[in-house]
């Protein structure tokens, strides 16, 4: 099982909920490991966010333990193909969790895909999205 940090659409209740994706693909369910934080900046792309791996904020997400089959499903959802030029790249990251760090995989966005977009002044995609949607 590998630790992964999910900050947006793969979080519980979101459009690409990781547990639902595992069920749909017949994979072992992810095991929730806790809440974590990474440095970066969020951007609103509509139904999902982008996380730029630099910036002044700490971004909240969830850490799950997943098997290789579910990691492959995550790659498919994020349209990540190793060795190719993709919007999202799976990379290692140090995640802060309750005063300790855990090395995880995550999917930050390549900066060139954010041209013309304003960064969010938000640390939590789910809280931001819910507030945004309530205003509509």
Per-residue pLDDT band for 111 (boundaries 50, 70, 90) equals very high
- The first and second tokens of residue 108, run together, are 């930050």
State residue 125's pLDDT score: 97
State residue 135's pLDDT score: 92
Average the pLDDT over 14-30 and give the result: 97
State residue 56's pLDDT score: 84
Q: Look at residues 60, 61, 81, 73 and name the one whose alpha carbon lies nearest to residue 24.
A: 73
State residue 136's pLDDT score: 85
Domains for the chain: give ranges and CATH numbers.
Answer: 2-127 (3.10.490.10)
Residues contacting residue 126 through CB under 8 Å, at least 6 positions apart: 11, 13, 14
Each residue's pLDDT tens digit, 49-101: 999 999 889 999 999 999 999 999 999 999 999 999 999 999 999 999 999 99
What is the percent of the chain with per-residue pLDDT over 90, rounded to a whole number?
96
Average the pLDDT over 114-136 and give the result: 94
Q: With contact defined as beta carbons under 8 Å apart, do 106 and 125 qualify?
A: no
The structure tokens 């995989």 sit at: 105
Write down the mean pLDDT value for the chain.
96
């Amino acid at each position: 099982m590998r630790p992964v940090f999910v900050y947006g659409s793969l979080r519980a209740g979101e459009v690409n909920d990781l547990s639902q994706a595992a069920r749909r693909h017949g994979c072992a369910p992810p095991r929730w490991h806790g809440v974590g934080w990474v440095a970066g900046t969020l951007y609103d792309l509509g139904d999902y966010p982008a996380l730029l791996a630099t910036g002044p904020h700490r971004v909240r997400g969830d850490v799950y333990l997943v098997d290789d089959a579910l990691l492959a499903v995550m790659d498919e959802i994020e349209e990540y193909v190793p060795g190719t030029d993709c919007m999202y790249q799976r990379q290692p990251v140090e995640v802060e969790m309750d005063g300790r760090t855990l090395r995880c995989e995550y999917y930050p966005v390549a900066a060139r895909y954010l041209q013309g977009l304003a960064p969010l002044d938000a640390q939590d995609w789910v809280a931001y999205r819910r507030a945004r949607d309530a205003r509509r």
